Amino acid sequence: MSEVEIRTYPIETLQEFSSAVFRHFGVPDEDAALASEVLAKSDLRGIDSHGVARLHTYFDMLELGRINPTPEISIVRETPSTATVDGDNGLGLVVGPKANEIAMEKAAACGSGWVSVSNTNHYGIAGYYVLEAMKRDLIGMSMTNTTKLVAPLWGGERWFGTNPIAMAFPGLEEPAVVVDLATSASAYGKIEIAKRRGEPIPDGWAIDAEGHPTTDPDGMIEGGAQLPLGSTREMGGHKGTCLAAMVDILTCVLSGANWGPLAPPFALRQEVPDRSVGKGIGHFFGAMRIDGFIEPDEFKRQMDDWVRTYRATKPQPGSPGVVVPGDPEREAEAVRATEGIPLVMPVVEELRDISKRTGIAFD
């Protein structure tokens, strides 16, 4: 394993560059600022796979006219606490925040808001949306489907996306508990890293194109599939499958988007499904007013107690001890906000390529 060359950039530099790239394709100023903010949040929180590392894919899609830079986002059906939103094939980074805003406004008006979204595209990190909700003393929920990568338990091919679920719960003095997880056993990015390093992946992460368990990253990447959280029947792979199905149905069947293996591809190299059953991919957002259940200060005091009691859990021998959900990302953000975002050279080269092709300065 060789040392990886890294370049570090202030978050402002990356955010301004992303924003300029979106504007270059006619995305309105305000939407470009919003989209680049979502990407930046991912880089700040240390989720490198969902930040500027994806900008080139958004670039490709905009350049090919596969994403609408000026969507007219509309509510196609609603009740006081629910809505279905059509994203008009806009950037998920724009449609997502706007649909989340609708959920939050409904919560302000009647206690909670639940919004299912069709005709949208990749929306960045699920966690961004629930952090926004938390700013308003709301408990947010965020889900999205993604292009197929994950086999159901006992399935021999890709069927689900990595279908993440996020929720966040604020404390008073202690940091928030932020839940943000893909429903697959591992992250696809980790399989790519293993491939780059020439290392095997753990048993339980993937199957190959024939459906056999594999520890070869290429076995998964070349037509194989990831496994759901739980991996095998014995270890609860049916549970990860259930969670992936739940996200798939709430984000897509409920909104009229393309579910399961029919989700349209995000990146150019991905296979196009043989049929379409809806519009684009789908998201699902929820927001609940804490004061719709309990005094917010009382809730937050209990959360402080929860976090402190949790941290005091007896550690498993030989382990670092328990981790409060959200701590690693919060700690990354504290460092990266001041010290900058470390990018590996392949990502830097992608940004330079965008710079060359758009004339927007980056070095």
**Of residues 210, 222, 271, 331, which one binds a second copy by CB under 8 A?**
210
**Of residues 236, 265, 340, 342, which one binds a second copy by CB under 8 A?**
236
Contact assessment for residue 164 and residue 176, using Cβ atoms and an 8 Å cutoff: no
Residue 65 lies near a second copy (rule: CB under 8 A)? no
The residue range among 88-96, 180-188, 215-223, 339-347 that interacts with a second copy, by the rule CB under 8 A, is: 180-188
* Orientation of helix 126-134 relative to helix 92-110, angle to 10°: 30
Residue 86 lies near a second copy (rule: CB under 8 A)? no
The residue range among 30-38, 52-60, 61-69, 80-88 that interacts with a second copy, by the rule CB under 8 A, is: 80-88
Contact assessment for residue 22 and residue 91, using Cβ atoms and an 8 Å cutoff: yes
The rounded distance, in Å, linking the Cα atoms of 174 and 185 is 29
The residue range among 14-22, 27-35, 37-45, 200-208 that interacts with a second copy, by the rule CB under 8 A, is: 200-208
Kind and range of the H or E run holding 206:
strand 206-207
**Of residues 52, 182, 191, 343, which one binds a second copy by CB under 8 A?**
182
Distance (Å) of CA 334 to CA 7, 39, 128, 348? 19, 17, 16, 23
Contact assessment for residue 288 and residue 104, using Cβ atoms and an 8 Å cutoff: no
**Of residues 81, 120, 121, 144, which one binds a second copy by CB under 8 A?**
81
Residues in binding contact with a second copy, number by CB under 8 A: 93
Residue 320 lies near a second copy (rule: CB under 8 A)? yes
Name, in order, each residue with C-beta under 8 angstroms of 361's C-beta and a sequence gap of 6 or more: 355
Instruction: Enumerate residues 241-260 that contact a second copy by CB under 8 A.
Output: 241-243, 245-246, 248-250, 253-256, 259-260
**Of residues 20, 52, 83, 206, which one binds a second copy by CB under 8 A?**
83
Residue 315 lies near a second copy (rule: CB under 8 A)? yes
Question: Is 69 or 230 the residue whose CB approaches a second copy more closely?
Answer: 230
Residue 51 lies near a second copy (rule: CB under 8 A)? no
345 dihedral zone (left: phi>0; alpha: psi -120 to 50; beta): alpha
Q: How far is the CB of 86 from a second copy (least distance, A)?
A: 12
Contact assessment for residue 226 and residue 190, using Cβ atoms and an 8 Å cutoff: no
Instruction: Enumerate residues 137-166 that contact a second copy by CB under 8 A.
Output: 139, 151-157, 159, 165
Question: Is 29 or 210 the residue whose CB approaches a second copy more closely?
Answer: 210
Instruction: Enumerate residues 113-142 that contact a second copy by CB under 8 A.
Output: 114, 116, 139
Question: Is 71 or 278 the residue whose CB approaches a second copy more closely?
Answer: 278
223 dihedral zone (left: phi>0; alpha: psi -120 to 50; beta): left
Q: How far is the CB of 155 from a second copy (least distance, A)?
A: 4
Contact assessment for residue 60 and residue 50, using Cβ atoms and an 8 Å cutoff: no
Give the tokens for residue 362: 């980056």
Measure CA 284 to chain center: 12
Instruction: Enumerate residues 268-297 that contact a second copy by CB under 8 A.
Output: 277-278, 288-290, 292-294
